[in-house]
Amino acid sequence: MAQSTTHISNRRLRTPRAAAIAGIIFAVLMIVSLTMLQIYVPADSTDTSDWLEENVGRINFALSLLPFAGIAFIWFLGVVRDRIGLLEDQFFSTLFFGSGLLYLAMTFATAAIAGGILAVYAFNPEILISSGLYTFARAIIYKFNNIFAIRMAGMFMIVVGTIWWRTEVMPHWVALLTYAVAIVELIGIQYFPWATLVFPSWVFLISAYILVLNYRYQKQDVEIDGMTAEG
């Protein structure tokens, strides 16, 4: 009678060195989506002209990018947490995950409401305008995106900058840059509508820098392995 054996692996699951590219994907998708929305959606929430009929395809495309950007952002959270490693603190981790996930949830909520507007418009444009639903939905979208979500992004950067400063897993100049960008997010949106692009731009820079660091570490590991083999 054959004896059953149980295979137990001692291999540790490691974060792929190229995982930081997820942050770049998030940044590119988010910047493209937000730029299209800034261009094709009028700033005046009471504007009921024919802009929606003319740009409905472009707006739908911009909204369709956001779910994929959100998936990439979750991967970016994992990359940032991986760099903290064993230095992770429960207090700061709670703030880190809370602000990051709230930003993502509000972004998704904004996209869902905007998608609902497009669906109602496709069904009956007159109902959308005459019922006041259009104005109400535009106000909700503005509040979600330009007041709550963007400030959660600023909160996220302040927490990450503080973690990096205290643990020194990233250079101090990166933490200081993060603080500066966070201030722009928290205050600048009141004066500069394009400030919504600041956060994904920051994610792009941080992800690119982490990729460079990972490449250097990989190169060092190869050199050490080569020296060991020769010895």
pLDDT per residue of the chain (231 residues) written in tens, 0 to 9: 455 555 554 555 455 666 788 999 999 999 999 999 888 887 766 666 677 777 888 899 999 999 999 999 999 998 888 888 788 888 888 999 999 999 999 999 999 998 888 888 888 777 777 777 888 888 888 888 888 899 999 999 999 999 999 998 889 999 999 999 999 888 877 777 778 899 999 999 999 998 888 776 555 544 444 545 455
State the pTM of this model: 0.82
User: What is the number of residues in the chain?
Assistant: 231
Q: CB-based burial of residue 181 (10 Å sphere; 0-12 exposed, 13-18 middle, 19+ buried)?
A: buried
Q: Check residue 156 and give its pLDDT.
A: 94
State the pLDDT at residue 61.
Answer: 93
- Name the CA dihedral angle for 214, 217, 219, 222, rounded to a multiple of 10 degrees: -130
Angular region, 219: left φ>0, alpha ψ -120 to 50, beta rest: alpha
Residue 213, pLDDT score: 81
Cα first-last separation, the chain: 48
